[in-house]
Amino acid sequence: MAKMCCLGSNNKMTMTIRETVDYLRALDFLTAQLPRESLRLFFIPSFTALSAASACAGGIDLGAQNMCWEERGQFTGEVSPLMLREVGVSIVEIGHSERRHIFGETDEMANRKVLCALSHGFTPLLCVGETAEQRACGIADEILRIQLIRGLRGVSAADAGRLVVAYEPVWAIGAGGTPAAPDYAGEKHAVLRQTLCALFGPAGAEIPLLYGGSVNLENCGPLALLPEVDGLFIGRSAWEPAGFYRIIQTVLPIFKIKNGPC
Ligand code: PGA
């Protein structure tokens, strides 16, 4: 079976319910004709917009930006897998750089969330990435291996096929970020792929690996061309439907050639 290309956007704490609905309607309209057997298109809005979003997402998968590893109880401010199931979420984003570095989430917490997401039938989207300081110290590869090994602890090879991993170097993300040079991203994706194969055997080769961090219309093509990049995880450049659509149109033919006919 041909590999699926994954293209998605995390909207962070940006759009209101109204804005999310308008955005999704426009994006679904623009992308309605795209082949879904080889493309997984997803959007991750704010929690408050999820319910309204599920009514108008069409062929776009919806994700949650975070999830508690418990189903219910004394966890003020958290959102449970049961609640996400109710609003039509299929993807759960876990360990985004902002969760790790602003809110102190650890690999151990990410691991609990990955296992919980799998047990509730969601696709866990585990985000990993080194900081600028770790890169400067020359320990980026070690950090990536640790984040994967700890974050995916206890996941069986049988469940590995349900994972998605995003490589998002912390220094590349957001308004002050610099996108990773394709050569650098390519090296890190190779490290991640080797680690996934060491963890899961042949199943590790099939896990979609996405690049994220200041992806834009100019760099999306060279990034998509990298052998171990199976998709892109985009923030700001995807928050306008026409802008996201242009990126999709640019990279889809590249992924089609790389992945072969389905
Ligand atoms: P950015 O965000 O594309 O705006 O850098 C990426 C992300 O945080 O996923």
Which residue among 165, 214, 239 is best mutated to probe the pocket of ligand 1, counting the most ligand atoms within 8 A of its Cβ? 214
Q: What is the pLDDT of residue 1?
A: 57
* Residue 212 in contact with ligand 1 by CB distance below 6 A: yes
Cβ(97)–Cβ(108) below 8 Å: no
Region 64-90: mean pLDDT is: 98
Compute the distance from residue 74 Cα to the ligand 1 centre, in Å: 32
Q: What is the mean pLDDT of the chain?
A: 96
Q: Crossing angle of helices 107-119/140-151, nearest 10°?
A: 40
* pLDDT of 2 strictly over 80: no
H-run or E-run covering 209: strand 209-212
- Max Cα–Cα distance, the chain, nearest Å: 50
Name the residue with tokens 């984003």: 93
Ligand 1 atom with the smallest distance to the CA of 177 is 5
Q: What angle do CA 164, 166, 170 make, to 5 degrees?
A: 160
Region 176-181: mean pLDDT is: 95
Residue 39 binned pLDDT confidence (cut-offs 50, 70, 90):
very high
Q: What's the rounded Cα separation, in Å, for the pair 79 and 82? A: 8
pLDDT tens, position by position, 219-232: 999 999 999 999 99
C-alpha distances (whole Å) from 58 to each of 39, 47, 53, 180 are 14, 18, 9, 32
* Residue 235 in contact with ligand 1 by CB distance below 6 A: yes
Q: What is the pLDDT of residue 260?
A: 74
Tokens found for residue 94:
């876990």
* pLDDT of 37 strictly over 90: no
168 is catalytic: yes
Q: Pseudo-torsion of CA 111, 152, 36, 244, nearest 10°?
A: 60
Q: How far apart are the first and last CA of the chain?
A: 6
Tokens found for residue 195:
């680690």
Tokens found for residue 169:
């170097």
